[in-house]
Amino acid sequence: MILIVFAIVLLALLGMPLFTVLAVIALLFFRGAGIDTAAVIIEMNRLATAPMLIAIPLFTFAGYLFAEAGSPRRLVRFSRAVLGWVPGGLALVALVACAVFTAFTGASGVTIIAMGGILMPALLAERYGERFTLGLLTTTGSLGLLFPPSLPVILYAYVAQVSVDKLFLAGLLPGLLLILMLGLYAARAARDVPRHRFTTGEVLAAARGAAWELPLPLAVLGGIYSGIVTITEAAALTALYALVVEVFIYHDITIRALPRIMKESTVLVGGILIILAAALGLTNYLIDAEVPYAIFDWMQRFVQSKLLFLLMLNLFLLVVGCLMDIFSALIVVVPLIVPIAQGYGVDLLHLGIIFLVNLEIGYSTPPVGLNLFIASFRFRRPVTELYHASLPFLLILLIALFIITYVPGLTLFLTGPAAPAAAG
Amino acid sequence: MDGAAPELVAAIGPEGRLLAALGAFLFAPPRSPAAVLLALVLAAGLLVLLRRVILRSRPAGERLFRLAGRLEMGALALLLLAMIVLSALQILLRNLFGIGLLWVDPLLRYATLWIGFLGAAVAAAEGRHIQIDVFTHVLPPGVKRIAGRLVNLAAATTTAILFTAAYRHLATEYEYDTRVLLELPSWLLLAVIPLGLALLTYRFLDRAITLPAPALSPAVPLATPAAADGNGSPAP
């Protein structure tokens, strides 16, 4: 028994695909409980019963289209024309542009790859410090995960069975707080950087250049926040719109390139959904076996207050966040934490935002945060240099995390507490 | 309300000969899990060997596998395109004419399942599955290679076992003749689960034997060279 556990842990740490690790554990549990192993497969069928999951391939495809088209360039030009005159203007541009881009692409690695190449030389040319620039671009890669139509939010809503529209609304103020705090830091760091003049002409020219793309974030954000469209409708319209605009209006993407981009996005989708498929059986087994409740009972002996629980949750998730990517962490950890958090009286919307911000930070946390490696690859710098560079940004994000965690009102101000509603 | 689709279904569908023959071929004599497992392992192993032999021998073989990669890519692209068109059509119909096609929403959900499992198979071919990356950055190259083989072999074993379970599940669905949407049998709509698992087994086995270089990370497709050549399988 111990030998099997040891072997599984070792294989997992050596890089066995996570979904196979989960499947092995599920198979062993089911076997041990004398349940037919076909139960693992029956749980997989459930993927085809959730309307919300349709949004995942559609949004991912739209995000990949934008990443390969000229959208990052146009987005940066426009934000620069609008925000360039503020102190720390270009840094602020980087923050906002990366946030919008991450919201659409979901996986933050894509943001660093697509935006970094444009923003890095621009920031350096304006004599922002090199270390500051590296840190900024590495950590902002995950900013924007809280805004629609970010995939991690959709996944949390699915796994925790909360309303996805409410969760997006709940993430609005915390997301703005993150951008505000990093923006203030950027403005302070950019005291010596020459400012630009604001010219209406450039704003108009940039807006004309991006005329087809600018309305989209506004429409998606507005549509989802206001509840006019459901998340799946927004996904379908975004995918179709992105396809038409990038292929037939901007001509950035040739039709010949389309199948490859489509395949690329399905590879990411497959990677996520198969983990979900494998985890459904496992987490269901654990919940049926009342494992989370047992953990809760055990924890209550040491942790009585909700505040202490939240602190431990933060620490735990920071570790999880730098070991696992955000999708698998959500899929595997959320179902097990939800009953415990409910035991401590934590609101599920609040829990979701804590989860996402925590995992977002974990992405850039040394030694193994994924963003650090992607940035190291993209900017051709040793990872250790990026550890240093991202440190001040991490500190700010951690402060923001603690505010978000211990001031639930920030999250729940717009939504009220989560109704125990079924997922839509 | 459903337009031309029912006629199409009637032609190839439940009472149609094609589907009935396929179902009978796959499930009619009940097969033991051991036989299913053996068949899968043999087929996957044979394919891995064949691929190595063909790829090594001449450029024609390489072209054959590039064609297979294109087919895979084409299937995924078609599925996604169909999803985009159908879901947009549904919104259009609902908002302009106040009607909706009943079969579109479930079909979209099954398309997501298909994209998920086929996409996962391609992810395995390109070594882009999500994994816990703790040791891989610090291991010496020799140990890393051995670990890579071991890990892929373990993954292949897992997906092979899952395949037998999936086959068994589908055989039950066939036996009870469950119909889901448009009178389509559920085993057909769910067939992608064993199909995807079989492809995954083949890919993991292939990687355990040939062991190509690992991709940087699952999240950064734009950066991996494998993404650019349009061919699902990196040549050894």
Query: Do B128 and A267 lie within an 8 Å CB cutoff?
Result: yes
How much is the pLDDT for B223?
Answer: 35
pLDDT at A228: 79
Length of chain A: 424
- State the Cα–Cα distance between residues A145 and A271, nearest whole angstrom: 19
With bands split at pLDDT 50, 70 and 90, how would you rate the model's confidence at B5? low
Residue B183 in domain: yes
- The mean pLDDT values, 10 residues at a time, for chain A of 424 residues are 86 86 89 83 83 86 85 83 82 87 75 82 86 89 83 89 89 91 87 76 83 82 80 87 88 86 87 86 83 82 85 88 78 89 91 91 78 81 86 93 90 74 39
State whether A239 and B84 contact (CB < 8 Å): yes
- Tell me, what amino acid is at A126? E
pLDDT tens digit sequence for B194-220: 999 999 999 998 888 887 665 544 444
Domain for residue B219, yes or no?
no
B80, B150, B219 ranked by CB distance to A266: nearest: B80
Q: Angle, nearest 10°, between helix axes A164-189 and A130-139?
A: 180
User: Given this model, what pLDDT does residue B229 score?
Assistant: 32
Domain that holds residue B179: 17-132+150-210
Rounded to the nearest angstrom, the minimum Cα separation between B83 and chain A is 8
Taking CA–CA distances from A60, the nearest residue in chain B reads B80
B77 in a structural domain? yes
Confidence (pTM): 0.82
Whether the CB-CB separation of A314 and A401 falls below 8 Å is answered with yes
**What mean pLDDT do residues B172-176 have?**
80
Distance CA A153, CA A163 (A): 10
> Which residue type occupies A373?
F
Within a domain: B49: yes
- For residue B91, being part of any structural domain is answered with yes
Alpha helices in A190-257, H assignment, sequence order? 200-209, 215-226, 231-244
Burial of B63 per CB tally in 10 Å (0-12, 13-18, 19+): exposed
B222 falls within a domain: no
Is a pLDDT exceeding 80 seen at residue B221? no
What's the angle, vertex CA A170, arms to CA A240 and CA A230, rounded to 5? 30
B95 lies in a domain? Answer: yes
B 111-170 residues inside an 8 A Cβ radius of A: 111-113, 115-124, 126, 128-137, 147-148, 150-151, 154-155, 158-159, 161-162, 165-166, 168-169
Q: Give the pLDDT confidence score for residue B134 in this predicted structure.
A: 65
Helix (H), strand (E), coil (C) string for B23-56: HHHHHCCCCCHHHHHHHHHHHHHHHHHHHHHHHH
DSSP string, A369-422: -HHHHHHHHHHT--HHHHHHHHHHHHHHHHHHHHHHHH-HHHHHTTT-SPP-PP
Q: Give the mean model confidence (pLDDT) for residues B130-147.
A: 76
Note the pLDDT of residue A353.
94
* B223 found inside a domain: no
User: Residue B115: pLDDT above 90?
Assistant: yes
- Predicted confidence at residue B45, as pLDDT, reads 86
Cβ-in-10-Å burial (0-12, 13-18, 19+) of A288 comes to exposed
* β-sheet bridge partners, residue B179: B185
Say what the pLDDT of residue B17 is.
67
Which residues are CB-neighbours of A250 under 8 A, at least 6 positions away?
Answer: A69, A70, A212
Query: Residue B181 gets which letter from DSSP?
Result: S
- The domain tally of chain B equals 1
